[in-house]
Structure 1
Amino acid sequence: MATHLITGAGSGIGAAVARRLHERGDDIVLVARDAGRAKEFTARFPGARTLVADLAAPDRISWALGHQTVPDRVDSLLHIAGIVDLGPVGELTPKIWHQQLDVNLIAPAELTRLFLLQLRAARGHVVFVNSGAGLNAHAEWGAYAASKHGLKALADSLRHEEHAAGVRVTSVYPGRTASPMQAKVHAQEGKEFDPSRWIDPESVATMIITALDLPRDAEINDVTVRPGRG
């Protein structure tokens, strides 16, 4: 049975991936920002394990995990959590920059560092759910896009460093996906949110699980998922 460590399982793509892996009988370990969220996860996914760590405070992740029982085997580490705040560069405060960089980039780097021994032992897989903004930055997306461009660099470096250890690394770049994050983006853009126009989180989950299940003789490095025409 494979063990998957997942961030962002509360909604959207993360929830879809966690449900699919849980339903097929895999062992899932869900990162929760606090004890209340962890309780919600165990109720939603019976038998799942949880780890409490606030991704918004990456400097404290190591301390938090040091007070909990962490899995001794990790077949995949799935970085799906993320936050977004739009705004022109001229109006973005250091606090807004730090919030997005902490959750979207530094926390994934720290979790990867902390579980790298388990990943090497399992010849495991690290999946970074990035964004179209990780490849192209547009007006008012500066801070978020910077965090996602950084996430691409993290994934690319990790892939080169861990290839000899058998660790696979995949970056997934979804376009706009029908999720609570996208609803927030539309609100910030002053637009009406119509989920039917955008990618279903289940479709991105299918892509992620395809990458995980690919035979060992191949590896998906980078994949872009764009909204279809329906």
Structure 2
Amino acid sequence: MGTHLITGAGSGIGAAVARRLAERGEQLWLLARDAKRAIELRDRFPGSRTLVGDLAEPERLSWAFGHQELPVELDSLLQIAGVAELGPVGELPPKVWQQTLAVNLVAPAELTRLLLPSLRQARGQVVFVNSGAGLRANADWGAYAASKFGLRALADALRAEEHAAGVRVTTVYPGRTATPMQQKVHAQEGRDYRPDAWIDPDSVATTVLTALDLPRDAEITDLTVRPGH
């Protein structure tokens, strides 16, 4: 049985990954933004443990974790949470850029820093669930894509730095997936939302588990997942 810390377990891809790991009897640590959310996550995933920390305030994560117990050994850190706010570069204010970069890039970097000792102890794995926007930036996606391009760079640098310690690093680039975030994106785009037109979150969860379950003689570095229809 492995020990896994998941961000974004409350919905979408993160919830699908948490459910699949729980069904296998794995030990889950779930990041919650506040104490109320932590209770909700423990009720949803019986037997799980929670850490409280707000990804929107990455500079406070070290202080928050200093008052809580952390896993001694961590087989995987699954960074799945994210935010998206669309708009043309000519109209996005600094606040949107700062919030997007904080949650999608700075917080994952800080989580990695704080949990690296536990990952090294277990020769574990960091999985970043990125986005197709981490490979290509389209109009109105500047802030989100910039954060995801940065996340790709974070993963590549981390992989080079931690290879000798036995820590594997994988980035998954899903296309549009039927999640609450996607529903919000469609609303911002002024489009009707049809979840059956996009990837099922469980399919992305299967991709994440494939990377985790790969034998130790190999490492999946990058996986791109696209809608099949």
TM-score (norm 2): 0.99
Aligned with 2:192: secondary structure? Answer: coil
Give the Cα separation in 1 of the matches to 2:126 and 2:69: 21
Gaps of 5+ in 1: none
Aligned length: 229
Where do 1:65-80 residues align within 5 Å?
65-80=65-80
Where do 1:218-229 residues align within 5 Å?
218-229=218-229
Give the Cα separation in 2 of the matches to 1:212 and 1:161: 19
TM-score (norm 1): 0.99
2:97 is equivalent to residue 97 of structure 1? yes
Where do 1:126-165 residues align within 5 Å?
126-165=126-165
Q: Which string of whole-angstrom CA distances, capped at 9 and with x for unpartnered residues, describes residues 140-196 of structure 1? A: 000000000000000000000000111000000000000000000000000000000
Aligned residue for 2:118? 118
Q: CA deviation at 1:121?
A: 1.1
Give the Cα separation in 2 of the matches to 1:58 and 1:206: 29
Aligned residue for 1:23? 23
Give the Cα separation in 1 of the matches to 2:223 and 2:47: 31
Q: CA deviation at 1:23?
A: 1.1
Aligned residue for 1:193? 193
Aligned residue for 1:182? 182
Aligned with 2:90: secondary structure? Answer: helix
Give the Cα separation in 1 of the matches to 2:39 and 2:5: 17
Gaps of 5+ in 2: none
Partner AA of 1:128 in structure 2? F
Q: Tell me the C-alpha RMSD between the 2 structures.
A: 0.4
Partner AA of 1:33 in structure 2? R
Give the Cα separation in 2 of the matches to 1:90 and 1:136: 19
Partner AA of 1:110 in structure 2? E
Runs of 4+ in 1 over 4 A off after TM superposition: none
Give the Cα separation in 1 of the matches to 2:121 and 2:36: 32
